[in-house]
Amino acid sequence: MSARRARTAPPDTRPVASAPPREDIPRDLPAPATWLRGPYWATARTHRTALRAVLALVLLAALLVLLGQLWLALRRDQPCGGELGLDCGGFWAQASAEQFLDRLGRLGRPALLLWPAAVAAFVAGPLTGRELEHGLHRLDWTQSVTPARWLTAKLVLAAAVAVPAAALLCGVFALAEPPGADNAGWADWTARGEFETHGAVLGAYTVLAVALGALTGLVLRRGYLALALAGGIGAALPQLAASLRWELWPVRTLTATQVDRTDIPPMMDADSVRMDWGRITATGRQVPADYCTQQTGLPGKCPPGVRITGVWAEYHPRAHFWYVQLTESLLVLALAAVLVWAAYRVLRHRTG
């Protein structure tokens, strides 16, 4: 036993030298970073096709306007040829480029009125209604994501994409105005499409569409049904607002007395918009334009004792544009806030 112990070597207690660190291998590698976390990333990942479609739409509109402006720049100030100086290049003439840009703007701006309807339909259908219908929401709710956070991710991402996209499209179509056009921007600033795309109103209706779509999807819990209903309401609300918006701000009144003709309204500034007009009697009473005809049944024949001495008109000057824009936008955003509150209430009621 003693001889065996003597032949056993003592253990080597010297420290083992480690290999020198390699300089070509980076240390402390950072974790992959992304802007989106949790339900935000999951929502963006699930609906990445829709995000790409929105991006493609904006890029296509920008490309068309850019090509039109480039076409116009290349053909500007090109002399016309021919014996009578009427050969200006045919299809590639400067006038054709201006017509292309003008038509692009006239078609694009009214088409943007359907943007809130499209946003409401998408949020109500694929974003919320379909997930609730097929039970896909349970996957998020069982992974430490509360229902309120799940809905917040839907609302925030939808608004963060739809509102800037609407602003970009409005800006793109504003650039479709040919240089030198009557543009303090647009000739008829009250026309549908012109009014909405030259201010904040379309963005406000886009926010309202997001709230409307979320509420519709939560209430119906059916993808296609929610899509159809929210899209229809999203298209109808701007139409209804267009018939009421000019009542949001008080009009100005213009009167003209001792005029030669009382069958035409008084002259106003060219960029003002007349809301109503009528006639003024000798007693100073303002009556509708067809007052005499209503009383007597005879065109141009007034009742005995009624003498017309002037005309009046109610109108909105162009200076009222931003007053009406901001008033309507604030009202629409207030309605959107109410719908968001209602959506959370419905979600809380459904989830206990």
Residue 259 pLDDT: 67
Residue 138 pLDDT: 74
Reading the block at residue 329, the tokens are 């936008």
The model's confidence at residue 185, banded by pLDDT at 50, 70 and 90, is very low
When pLDDT is averaged across residues 222-248 and rounded to a whole number, the result is: 90
Residue 77 pLDDT: 59
Burial class of 215 by CB neighbour count within 10 A (0 to 12, 13 to 18, 19+): buried
Residue 84 pLDDT: 42
> What is the arrangement of strands in the sheet containing 252-257, beginning at the earlier edge strand?
252-257, 308-316, 273-281, 286-288
Are 141 and 87 in contact by the 8 Å Cβ rule? The answer is no
Examine the pLDDT at 24 and tell me if it is beyond 50: no
When pLDDT is averaged across residues 293-297 and rounded to a whole number, the result is: 79
Are 224 and 126 in contact by the 8 Å Cβ rule? The answer is no
Q: What percent of the chain has pLDDT over 70?
A: 78
The model's confidence at residue 325, banded by pLDDT at 50, 70 and 90, is very high
Residue 116 pLDDT: 95
Are 222 and 276 in contact by the 8 Å Cβ rule? The answer is no
Residue 90 pLDDT: 54
Reference 154, options 203, 201, 215; nearest CA is 215
Which of the given ranges, 100-104, 153-157, 174-178, 195-199, has the highest pLDDT on average? 153-157
When pLDDT is averaged across residues 13-31 and rounded to a whole number, the result is: 47
* Secondary structure class of 228 (helix, strand, coil): helix
269-282 confidence digits (pLDDT tens): 777 888 888 888 88
The pair phi, psi for residue 180, each rounded to 5°, is 90, -5
When pLDDT is averaged across residues 343-350 and rounded to a whole number, the result is: 90
Distance CA 243, CA 333 (A): 18
Distance CA 172, CA 58 (A): 8
Distance CA 150, CA 351 (A): 12
Residue 52 pLDDT: 93
When pLDDT is averaged across residues 210-231 and rounded to a whole number, the result is: 93
The model's confidence at residue 22, banded by pLDDT at 50, 70 and 90, is very low
* Residues 181-193 as b or e (16 or more Cβ within 10 Å = b): eeeeebeebbeeb
Only one residue has tokens 């739809």, namely 162
Are 257 and 310 in contact by the 8 Å Cβ rule? The answer is yes
**What residues are paired with 281 via a beta bridge?**
308
What does the mean pLDDT of the chain come to?
A: 80
Are 277 and 314 in contact by the 8 Å Cβ rule? The answer is yes
- pTM for this entry: 0.78
Residue 143 pLDDT: 73
Examine the pLDDT at 246 and tell me if it is beyond 50: yes
Residue 337 pLDDT: 96
Distance CA 132, CA 111 (A): 31
Helix residue ranges, H only, the chain: 2-7, 38-46, 48-75, 94-111, 115-122, 130-134, 137-141, 147-174, 194-197, 201-220, 223-244, 291-296, 321-351
When pLDDT is averaged across residues 306-319 and rounded to a whole number, the result is: 85
Residue 254 pLDDT: 85
Examine the pLDDT at 265 and tell me if it is beyond 80: no
28-76 confidence digits (pLDDT tens): 434 344 566 777 887 888 888 999 999 999 999 999 988 888 877 776 6
Residue 285 pLDDT: 84
Residue 59 pLDDT: 95
* Plot region of 183 (φ>0 → left; ψ -120 to 50 → alpha; else → beta): beta
Residue 184 pLDDT: 45
Question: ∠ CA(39), CA(43), CA(45), 5° rounding?
Answer: 115
Residue 176 pLDDT: 81
